[in-house]
């Protein structure tokens, strides 16, 4: 393995094994499902795949923003529906 590290100039402490962590996290952040990540890494168990996925503060902010967007969209939709319903009731009366 030393030659595989030496030729591209990788540090002595570099472990190719660590690339699983590097690969899993961005793939799931890009929209890959757990099953997609498992296939890409050649893993057969979800437990093994989850070991290599990480969630940092940036990802948690992205998830929170996505949830916020969904809630706001639903509220806006219901608000629009309520206004239309009230207009129908007003014109029928």
How many domains are there within the chain? 2
What is the domain extent for residue 29?
1-54
Looking at the structure, tell me whether residues 34 and 62 fall in a common domain: no
Does the reported pTM lie above 0.75?
Answer: no
Query: What gap in Å lies between CA 8 and CA 23, rounded to an integer?
Result: 19
At residue 7, does pLDDT exceed 60? Answer: yes
Same domain, 62 and 75: yes
Dihedral Cα 16, 21, 26, 29, nearest 10 deg: 170
In terms of domains, do 80 and 92 share one? Answer: yes
* One domain, residues 1 and 36: yes
pLDDT of 93 = 57
Residue 68 DSSP one-character state: H
The predicted pLDDT at position 81 comes to 66
- Residue 9 and residue 40 share a domain: yes
User: Tens digits of per-residue pLDDT, 29-84?
Assistant: 888 888 998 898 888 998 988 888 888 888 889 889 999 999 999 999 887 766 66
Q: What is the mean pLDDT of residues 10-17?
A: 82
């Amino acid at each position: 393995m030393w030659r595989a590290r030496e030729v591209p100039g990788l540090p002595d402490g570099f472990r190719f094994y660590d690339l699983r962590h590097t690969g899993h996290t961005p793939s799931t952040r890009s929209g890959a499902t757990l099953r997609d990540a498992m296939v890409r890494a050649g893993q057969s168990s979800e437990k093994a795949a989850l070991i290599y996925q990480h969630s940092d503060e940036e990802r948690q902010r992205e998830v929170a923003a996505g949830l916020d967007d969904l809630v706001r969209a639903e509220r806006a939709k219901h608000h629009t529906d309520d206004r239309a319903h009230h207009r129908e009731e007003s014109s029928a009366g």
